[in-house]
Amino acid sequence: MSGMAVPTHPVVGVVGSAGAYGRWLRRFFEDRMGLRVLGHDPADPASEPSGRLLAEADVLVFSVPIQSAARLIGEYVERSAGRERGRLWLDITSIKQAPVAAMLASRAEVVGLHPMTAPLKTPTLRGRVVVVCEERLDAWRGWVDGLLQALEGEYVRTTPAHHDRVMALVQAMVHAAHLGQAGVLRSFAGELGGPAELMPYRSVGFEMDAAVTARILALNPQVYEDIQFGNPHAVEVLSRLSDEISRLQALVARGDEQARAEFREHYLAGNRAAWGEAALEEGSYTFERIGYLLADLTETRRLSVHLPEDRPGSLRALLHVFEEHGINLTSIHSSRTPAGEVHFRIGFDAGADVDRLRSAADAIDHGGLGRVLDRPWGLSPRSGPGCRPRC
């Protein structure tokens, strides 16, 4: 395929355009890359027919459930009947071997992608890991490099086979462990209460595990089902996980000194040596940073402020308001609201003067600098034009 001309502004076709990632991809290709996008999805009667995607799309992206990906791609290969030669086919499923093999049956250039995150509220995948499987790439290499640059991800390149084995650990095992925890918590709920009743007793580790579990249960259940049942390596990994838990259970049940010694050797010393000092130090530091962040999020004296104008100096102007009111900050974090708006969550000393905080918040709201999204109880705005209820 070397030497084939690649369109400067290719038409992109998204198969599965009504799904969460399909919608995100349409926005990305249109808004960030300025490309024309065609979408097909049986769940959306208003979407373009699949035949139009096959006829007009220079780049075809499969954003479909794991369990149907290979079969659906095979149908597109059959219907395309060679028209895909010189074009580019991509997929973004969480399993790579079967979908990539199905795409390789076509005459298109083929790249498998796996963003290691659910669809974001941000316009790019900045800072998120994306696995890249370049299986047949020649004329489209420059364009793919531009796509990855526009996505702003952190990239790791591998083969589909290695990807699937790794995902059995990174995804299937992790999800299974948390779903198992959820089942244990549910079994004790009648005696000790559910997550809400347990959270006041939280450790940092429990709070992080509970957040991961809640995230799994809150998102598309089909994705998590397919990650377990669609990865051929999951059974082996879950079997080893089960063996480790069973062995630990047996040792704790015995409870003698020999059992304790075996616990120390196998579960602590052995695993510590396997991880290595560098990984332990980095992981421990990450845990500490998350712990500090979680502690900051419990501050009772706080404000969340959205700055509508993304321009140099906006944050400095915001901080100057607090300086003018003689208010000391203890923390500041940028985050996003459920609607996707960037906001700054600012924490203050527990003894910070409420009247000064209220005046600063009113100055931000009334002065047009920003919009106060969250005021804890006791910091409600004074009545007057421009005041907004707590978000």
- Domain with residue 20: its CATH number is 3.40.50.720
**Domain membership flag for residue 5:** no
Q: Both 286 and 317 in a single domain?
A: no
Residue 326 confidence (pLDDT) above 50: yes
Q: Both 217 and 234 in a single domain?
A: yes
* pLDDT, tens digit (0-9, with 9 covering 90-100), for 288-313: 999 998 888 888 888 889 888 767 88
What is the 3-class SS of the chain, one letter each residue?
CCCCCCCCCCCEEEECCCCHHHHHHHHHHHHHCCCCEEEECCCCCCCCCHHHHHHHCCEEEECCCHHHHHHHHHHHHHHHCCCCCCCEEEECCCCCHHHHHHHHCCCCEEEEEEECCCCCCCCCCCCCEEEEEEEECCCCHHHHHHHHHHHCCEEEECCHHHHHHHHHHHHHHHHHHHHHHHHHHHHHHHHHCCHHHHHHHCCHHHHHHHHHHHHHHHCCHHHHHHHHHCCCCHHHHHHHHHHHHHHHHHHHHHCCHHHHHHHHHHHHHHHHHHHCHHHHHHHHHHHHHHHHHHHHCCCCCEEEEECCCCCCCHHHHHHHHHHHCCCCEEEEEEEECCCCCEEEEEEECCCCCHHHHHHHHHHHHHCCCCEEEECCCCCCCCCCCCCCCCC
Confidence of residue 187 (pLDDT cuts 50, 70, 90): very high
pLDDT score recorded for residue 385: 35
**Domain membership flag for residue 2:** no
**Domain membership flag for residue 139:** yes
What is the C-alpha to C-alpha distance for residues 348 and 240, in angstroms, rounded to an integer?
47
Q: 306 and 337 in contact (C-beta within 8 Å)?
A: yes
Q: Both 286 and 337 in a single domain?
A: no
Confidence of residue 387 (pLDDT cuts 50, 70, 90): very low
pLDDT score recorded for residue 24: 97
Residue 378 confidence (pLDDT) above 60: no
Q: Residue 332: phi, psi to the nearest 5?
A: -150, 130
Q: Residue 289: phi, psi to the nearest 5?
A: -60, -40
Q: Both 79 and 50 in a single domain?
A: yes
Q: Both 40 and 133 in a single domain?
A: yes
Domain containing 196 equals: 163-293
**Domain membership flag for residue 201:** yes
How are beta strands 302-306 and 371-374 bridged, if at all? antiparallel
pLDDT score recorded for residue 104: 98
pLDDT score recorded for residue 129: 98
What is the C-alpha to C-alpha distance for residues 160 and 135, in angstroms, rounded to an integer?
9
**Domain membership flag for residue 285:** yes
Confidence of residue 380 (pLDDT cuts 50, 70, 90): low
**Domain membership flag for residue 382:** no
Confidence of residue 237 (pLDDT cuts 50, 70, 90): very high
Boundary of a domain, candidates 293, 327, 353: 293
Enter the tokens of residue 47: 């979407």
Residue 219 confidence (pLDDT) above 70: yes
Residues above pLDDT 90, as percent of the chain: 77
Overall number of domains in the chain: 3
Boundary of a domain, candidates 143, 158, 173: 158
* pLDDT, tens digit (0-9, with 9 covering 90-100), for 248-303: 999 999 999 999 999 999 999 999 999 999 999 999 999 999 999 888 888 888 88
Residue closest to 300 by CA, chosen among 246, 259, 350:
350
Boundary of a domain, candidates 293, 317, 334: 293
Compare 336 and 59 and report the one with higher pLDDT.
59
**Domain membership flag for residue 233:** yes
What's the mean per-residue pLDDT of the chain? 92
Q: Both 247 and 325 in a single domain?
A: no
Q: Both 100 and 21 in a single domain?
A: yes
- The model's pTM: 0.87
**Domain membership flag for residue 279:** yes
Residue 1 confidence (pLDDT) above 90: no
